[in-house]
């Protein structure tokens, strides 16, 4: 790797640390909030949502009138 890239990463890390007064808890909370906002942004802009595509099994519109008994079990009278 280039020394310029390494220095840029170190400078960015130092700037973030000083912005949050070197409090690791605040840095982690900020990073998690950024990730959540990015996920939500991606979810809102997804082509599947625009096309109305959903994933998973939809609920069946068929409703059974009576309970189903296991195979081999005679019907009760």
pLDDT band at 23 (very low <50, low <70, confident <90, very high): very high
* Residues 38, 46: Cα–Cα separation, whole Å: 12
Q: Give pLDDT, residue 22.
A: 92
pTM over 0.75: no
Q: Give pLDDT, residue 55.
A: 61
Asked if pLDDT for residue 7 goes beyond 90, the answer is: yes
pLDDT tens-digit profile of 38-65? Answer: 888 877 776 656 566 566 655 555 555 6
Distance (Å) of CA 27 to CA 23, 31, 48: 6, 6, 33
Task: Return all residues near 71 (Cβ < 8 A) that are at least 6 apart.
Answer: none
* Residues 1, 9: Cα–Cα separation, whole Å: 12
């Amino acid at each position: 790797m280039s020394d310029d890239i390494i220095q840029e990463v170190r400078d960015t890390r130092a700037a973030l640390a000083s912005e949050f007064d070197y409090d690791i808890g605040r840095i982690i909370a900020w990073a998690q909030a950024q990730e959540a906002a990015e996920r939500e942004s991606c979810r809102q802009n997804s082509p599947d949502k625009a096309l109305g595509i959903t994933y998973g099994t939809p609920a069946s519109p068929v409703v059974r009138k009576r309970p189903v008994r296991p195979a081999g079990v005679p019907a009760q009278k």
